[in-house]
């Protein structure tokens, strides 16, 4: 394990850095938008790269550490490491100019230390230190109220539904009748933060990467929420959250709620 920096001071500095870069982002011009791997649903813009470069410089000045980020080739996470998504929700940013975020976490190997998620359009900044509570714009967040499944709002896209139905026999389509409503924001870090604030209670995704959930995970877990991999790991002995492989993931406001969803829809499973 590494010697940890002064986390309360560091999270304040990271929050100021992320907010500053997010505010600058509005003045920068989108000059190019490319497909990753020829996938028209997976976009990267010149501003993803510009934000990432700015974060790399400023975060290293705050705390020298490894740098694991979406728009670069990465080595396995070891020791102190920044985990960064420069623009989570690039499609939303390019197409709608809302529901996108800058996400920054600091981990020591597999141990989460701090997380910051900035909702750029709304100006909302979520932050947390492991063991130190979670905050929205500097105000402490309360633990969300427990709700039964029929009173829950589930965040899940059609693409996730399609992908997960290929791997489970448990009638996942029926979940739409078990919950109060379903929504799809299109930004993983903000979807998890919505659970932390009590605006939603559940989030299902079929392919989150470490940069999508690393920061929001710290925030949600500080409030009693959980993140649960949906299927057995394809890499035994490797932390599924940080393996780098696309992770089918359930995020829930409580362990009891997560257990209910897993029992109803993800046991038994098949792996095609």
Instruction: Specify if 160 maps to a domain.
Output: yes
Are 25 and 64 members of one domain? yes
261: CB partners within 8 A, 6+ apart: 149, 175, 202, 204, 250, 252
Reported as a single tens digit per residue, the pLDDT across 141-157 is 999 999 999 999 999 99
Reported as a single tens digit per residue, the pLDDT across 90-113 is 999 999 999 999 999 999 999 999
Are 154 and 214 members of one domain? yes
Instruction: Specify if 1 maps to a domain.
Output: no
Instruction: Specify if 98 maps to a domain.
Output: yes
* pLDDT reported for residue 41: 84
DSSP secondary structure letter of residue 232: -
As a whole number of angstroms, the distance between CA 160 and CA 120 comes to 25
Are 207 and 171 members of one domain? yes
* pLDDT reported for residue 235: 78
119: CB partners within 8 A, 6+ apart: 100, 101, 125, 126, 190, 193
Neighbouring-strand partners of residue 247: 208
Strand order in the sheet with 181-183: 181-183, 153-155, 202-208, 247-252, 226-229
Are 180 and 256 members of one domain? yes
Last residue of one domain, picked from the residues 107, 140, 173? 140
As a whole number of angstroms, the distance between CA 184 and CA 203 comes to 9
Pick the residue with more confidence: 257 or 236?
A: 257
Instruction: Specify if 18 maps to a domain.
Output: yes
What does the DSSP assignment read for 138-179?
Answer: TEEPPPPPP--GGG-EEE--HHHHHHHHTTB-S-GGGHHHHS
* pLDDT reported for residue 216: 98
Q: Is the pLDDT of residue 269 over 50?
A: no
**C-alpha to C-alpha distances, 168 to 75, 226, 240, 266, nearest whole angstrom:** 32, 21, 19, 6
Q: Is 239 helix (H, G, I), strand (E, B) or coil?
A: coil
How many domains does the chain fold into? Answer: 2
Are 127 and 155 members of one domain? no
Instruction: Specify if 174 maps to a domain.
Output: yes
Strands (E), 49-162: 66-69, 80-88, 101-108, 111-119, 124-129, 134-136, 139-140, 153-155
Buried b (16+ CB within 10 A) or exposed e, 124-140: ebbbbbbebebbbeeee
Reported as a single tens digit per residue, the pLDDT across 19-75 is 999 999 999 999 999 998 878 888 999 999 999 999 999 999 999 999 999 999 999
Instruction: Specify if 16 maps to a domain.
Output: yes
Are 227 and 172 members of one domain? yes
Two tokens, residue 202? 């559940």
pLDDT classification of 3: cutoffs 50, 70, 90: confident
Q: Is the pLDDT of residue 270 over 70?
A: no
* pLDDT reported for residue 38: 77
Which residue bears the tokens 């633990």? 143
For helices 7-25 and 46-62, angle between their N-to-C axes, nearest 10 degrees: 150
Domain span at residue 243 reads 149-265
Which residue bears the tokens 């209670």? 201
As a whole number of angstroms, the distance between CA 165 and CA 172 comes to 6
Two tokens, residue 111? 């141990």
Counting every residue written for the chain, the total comes to 272
Instruction: Specify if 12 maps to a domain.
Output: yes
* pLDDT reported for residue 238: 85
Q: Is the pLDDT of residue 271 over 50?
A: no
* pLDDT reported for residue 211: 97
């Amino acid at each position: 394990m590494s010697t940890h920096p002064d986390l309360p001071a560091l999270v304040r500095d990271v929050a100021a850095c992320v907010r500053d870069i997010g505010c600058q982002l509005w003045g920068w011009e989108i000059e190019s938008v490319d497909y990753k791997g020829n996938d028209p649903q997976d976009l990267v813009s010149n501003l993803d790269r510009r934000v990432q470069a700015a974060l790399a410089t400023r975060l290293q000045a705050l705390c020298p550490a490894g740098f694991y980020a979406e728009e670069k080739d990465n080595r396995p996470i070891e020791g102190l490491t920044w985990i960064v998504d420069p623009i989570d929700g690039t499609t939303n940013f390019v197409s709608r100019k809302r529901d996108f975020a800058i996400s920054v976490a600091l981990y020591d190997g597999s141990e989460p230390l701090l997380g910051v998620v900035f909702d750029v359009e709304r100006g909302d900044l979520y932050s947390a230190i492991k063991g130190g509570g979670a905050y929205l714009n500097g105000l402490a967040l309360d633990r969300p109220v427990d709700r039964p499944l029929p009173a829950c709002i589930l965040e899940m896209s059609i693409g996730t539904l399609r992908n997960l139905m290929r791997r489970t026999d448990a009638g996942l389509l029926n979940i739409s009748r078990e919950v109060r409503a379903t929504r799809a924001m299109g930004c993983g870090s903000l979807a998890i933060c919505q659970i932390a604030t009590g605006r939603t209670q559940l989030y299902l995704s079929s392919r989150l990467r470490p940069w999508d959930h690393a920061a929001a995970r710290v925030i949600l877990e500080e409030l009693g929420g959980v993140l649960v991999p949906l299927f057995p790991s394809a890499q035994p002995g490797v932390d599924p959250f940080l393996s780098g492989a696309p992770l089918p993931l359930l995020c829930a406001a409580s362990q009891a709620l997560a257990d209910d969803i897993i029992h109803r829809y993800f046991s038994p499973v098949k792996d095609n």
